[in-house]
Amino acid sequence: MAEAPAHDYPTIEPTSFDVVICGTGLPESVLAAACAAAGKTVLHVDPNPFYGSLYSSVPLPSFLSPDHSSVPLSPSGDDSHSVVDLHRRNIYSEVETSGAAPEPSRRFTVDLVGPRVLYCADEAVDLLLRSGGSHHVEFKSVEGGSLLYWDGQLYPVPNSRQAIFNDAATLKLTEKTVLFRFFELVRAHIAAADEDGEGEEASDKISEEDLDIPFVEYLKKHQLPPKLRAVVLYAIAMAEYDQDNDCCEKLLTTREGIQTIALYSSSIGRFANAQGAFIYPMYGHGELPQAFCRCAAVKGALYVLRMPISALLMDEERKNCLGARLTSGQDILCQQLILDPSYKVPILDAPSDGSDSNSLRKVARGICIISKSVKQDSSNLLIVFPPKSLEEQQIAAIRGLQLSSNLAVCPPGMFMVYLSTPCADTSTGKQCIKKAIDALFAPQASDSLEGHLEETSENNEDLKPTVIWSCVYVQEITEGTSSSLLSCPTPDEHLDYRSILDSSKKVLHCMLHFLLNVPASKVLPPDIFSCR
């Protein structure tokens, strides 16, 4: 889409705001809702014609043909400030597609943040409930549960007492006993911790010494065999990297592992219509930022799509940002400017988004359209590949999420599957995703799609689902900046939004420091950021 002439852009009134936010990703949208609820004037713009930015859900044709045509106008400074050009960058690289997209392709919705789910009891859900954003989003349960890839096969993840004893095929009696005893120990610790360690229940708490050791060592101490350790570490506690490696990039402590297990446990049964711990938004994750944008708009925030920022307005010493020049040529003044992480800031005293650094974290992602479910009679489910489950060089877990038409993301009879793994090397990350695809699916046959669907519909449940179309690519991961000019985080490698919301809070606190110089608790209403 070509950039519109300047005279086609709307004129924005007023021309001065407390906060200007560029980009409608989830962090930016949460911050807009928080600022608007606190009574601040907010201008929220986005270069795209849709909400969500890097967190959006887009039709498959738009995913295949992204718009990178945002070229800033040549700014002309005046005597009151200096002007610094901004440019946008692409955080995606090494894009590789295979197969032909099924028709009609617009019936397929692609999440840019996949695979990702929400715990029923996590902070993102609390934010939606307390801000009123939940009125604008509908969720469905990931009812198929989780599957663990182990020794070349997929096994159901026993994540509760009932699941352990209902498992008649994959767990031996001794394994059931060991896993049951471990879960009971964790349950008793969580219950005792909820009582603040008072009374007799304090004796049920895990010792501080054990809480500070690597979680994998604690599991070994309780005699969990390798397969059950993999279940707990990677399918429930959500560890990313190989915990049996002394050089592990992120070694999970017992304390951190049990915190996630507690979240997992409290999520099961929180909502009557959710069968497991996880839920997923209808129409994709792009609905979440839209919900917060609606909350902000109700509180008075002004929204303008198709409106990039072309330059910063700086004071003469270039130490403080006074506002922004829009691509329309209009100057907007503000006390605080927050940028989408796709913007590259050329000058600032503090480091910018770090886009030129060789040490950037990355995540390899894969998207597949398949012909039938990975698991019979399951529509939506999670798949976990522990480290080294596909090859010895696999240092991180690979997670997959299968979605069906009951989430309105694809036509009936088709399924969307997302996969991701953190990586330092792009080629290694892509190779891991491809190996996971090969382990789960059969390649596209040379026959026509119709003939293939007829073939797979015959009574052969052992046939793998067929990949009709796939895409593998690499995405940069950046945290939000903490300078006078703020930037929000990109989507990360995790399955949920906890880290992204933590980074967003840091951005919020930095903003309050520069904008108001008072604690956040004295400014923002508790129904936005105060969660249990």
Q: What is the spatial distance between Cα 358 and Cα 93, in angstroms, rounded to a whole number?
A: 14
Side chain identity at 348, as an amino acid letter? L
Say what the pLDDT of residue 372 is.
93
Q: What is the spatial distance between Cα 127 and Cα 11, in angstroms, rounded to a whole number?
A: 33
Is 189 part of a structural domain of the chain?
Answer: yes
Query: Residue 433: which H helix or E strand, with range?
Result: helix 426-440
Mean pLDDT of 278-285: 96
Say what the pLDDT of residue 80 is.
66
Say what the pLDDT of residue 193 is.
82
pLDDT at 195 over 80: no
- The tally of domains found in the chain comes to 2
Query: Residue 526: which H helix or E strand, with range?
Result: helix 526-529
69-87, pLDDT tens digit by residue?
444 444 444 556 788 888 8
pLDDT at 356 over 80: no
Q: Quick check: helix, strand or coil at residue 487?
A: strand
Q: Are both 169 and 225 inside the same structural domain?
A: yes
Is 41 part of a structural domain of the chain?
Answer: yes
Percentage of the chain beyond pLDDT 90 is 57
364-374, pLDDT tens digit by residue?
999 999 989 99
Q: Are both 81 and 213 inside the same structural domain?
A: no
Say what the pLDDT of residue 446 is.
54
Q: Are both 258 and 291 inside the same structural domain?
A: no
Do 178 and 170 meet the contact criterion of CB atoms below 8 Å apart? no
User: How many contiguous H segments (helices) and E segments (strands) does the chain have?
Assistant: 14, 23
Percentage of the chain beyond pLDDT 70 is 83
Domain coverage including residue 78: 6-89+286-358+480-529
Mean pLDDT of 445-457: 50
Q: Are both 261 and 348 inside the same structural domain?
A: no
406-435, pLDDT tens digit by residue?
999 999 999 999 999 999 889 999 999 999
Say what the pLDDT of residue 63 is.
87
Confidence of residue 196 (pLDDT cuts 50, 70, 90): low
pLDDT at 395 over 70: yes
Is 521 part of a structural domain of the chain?
Answer: yes
CA atoms within 13 A on the CB side of 4: 16
Do 369 and 469 meet the contact criterion of CB atoms below 8 Å apart? yes
Q: pTM above the 0.75 mark?
A: yes
Say what the pLDDT of residue 503 is.
87
Determine the distance from the C-alpha atom of residue 411 to the mean position of all C-alpha atoms in its chain, rounded to a whole number: 24
Is 223 part of a structural domain of the chain?
Answer: yes
Is 517 part of a structural domain of the chain?
Answer: yes
Mean pLDDT of 177-190: 90
Q: Are both 254 and 185 inside the same structural domain?
A: yes
pLDDT at 478 over 80: yes
Say what the pLDDT of residue 310 is.
92
Do 499 and 492 meet the contact criterion of CB atoms below 8 Å apart? yes
